[in-house]
């Protein structure tokens, strides 16, 4: 691959990795290049993204490279989140929020194992709405981000603490795990709807 292709692949890799990011070792293995070469391309890309005409940048957080938005554009993202059309949570976001509420601290991989689908977009939505936040990093390879709920989450659903969430039944066996997930999602949604109805009365 030529330099333009390599930088395009790096951009794609970071996009796919999302909030988890990729460390140097992972990127070197995938691209089959050494650390010096990788740093050269990352440096070039950082300079390219520094232009006022670009809305993203490459940042290094906890040893991993990520594609992130620029701080100076934050007021516009806040305006989007506060727009009337974005106040209602989608089913995907609701499911993700319920899992985090009951299983916290929990990683994106664990969330996706429960939901059975990719959950990066719902996590971004919930983070933007300040309903969830990063609460730490998992042990082991990759140091995955762990998510938990926020004070705003408690206020949104009229809770004093997560202990007031509807209790979950304990499954008798592994075969009941899918039913357990369905139950706690439905209970969580009922509580959310009840709180919203109280607000409108």
Residue 13 DSSP code: H
DSSP assignment letter at 150: -
Mean pLDDT of the residues in the chain: 81
Q: 3-70 is classed in which CATH architecture?
A: Orthogonal Bundle (1.10)
154: region left, alpha or beta (phi > 0 left; psi from -120 to 50 alpha): alpha
Cβ 9 vs Cβ 15: under 8 Å: no
Tell me: pLDDT of 30 over 50: yes
Please, is 192 exposed, middle or buried when counting C-beta atoms within 10 Å of its C-beta (0-12, 13-18, 19+)? middle
Q: Is the pLDDT score of 174 beyond 60?
A: no
- Dig out the tokens for 138 from the structure: 């998992």
30: three-class secondary structure by DSSP: helix
Locate tokens 């988890």: which residue?
A: 20
Q: Hey, which residues does 149 pair with through a beta bridge?
A: 132
Peptide bond into 105 cis (omega under 30): yes
Domain edges within the chain: 3-70, 88-200
Whether 3-70 shares its CATH topology with 88-200 is answered yes
48-100 residue pLDDT tens: 999 999 999 999 887 789 998 888 988 887 776 655 444 567 888 888 998 99
The closest alpha carbon to 97, from 123, 134, 78, 115, belongs to: 123
Whether 44 shows a pLDDT value over 90: the answer reads yes
pLDDT, tens only, 88-142? 678 888 889 989 998 999 999 999 998 889 888 899 889 888 899 999 988 877 7
Q: Is 148 exposed, middle or buried (0-12, 13-18, 19+ CB in 10 A)?
A: middle
CATH topology of domain 88-200: Arc Repressor Mutant, subunit A (1.10.10)
Which tokens sit at 34?
A: 């050494």
Residue 173: is its pLDDT beyond 50? no
């Amino acid at each position: 691959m030529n330099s333009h292709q390599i930088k395009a692949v790096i951009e794609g890799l970071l996009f796919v990795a999302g909030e988890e990011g990729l460390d140097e070792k992972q990127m070197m293995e995938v691209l089959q290049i050494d650390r010096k070469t990788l740093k050269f391309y990352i440096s070039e890309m950082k300079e390219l993204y520094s232009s006022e005409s670009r809305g993203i940048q490459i940042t290094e957080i906890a040893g991993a490279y990520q594609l992130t938005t620029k701080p100076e554009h934050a007021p516009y993202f806040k305006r989007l989140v506060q727009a009337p059309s974005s106040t209602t949570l989608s089913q995907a976001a609701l499911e993700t929020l319920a899992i985090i509420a009951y299983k916290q601290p929990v990683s994106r991989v664990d969330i996706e194992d429960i939901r059975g689908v990719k959950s990066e977009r719902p996590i971004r939505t919930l983070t933007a709405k300040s309903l969830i936040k990063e609460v730490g990093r998992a042990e082991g390879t990759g140091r995955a981000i762990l998510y938990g709920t926020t004070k705003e989450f408690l206020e949104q659903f009229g809770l004093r603490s997560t202990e007031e969430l509807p209790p979950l039944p304990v499954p008798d066996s592994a075969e009941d795990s899918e039913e357990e997930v369905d139950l706690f999602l439905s209970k969580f949604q009922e509580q959310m709807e009840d709180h919203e109805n109280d607000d409108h009365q």
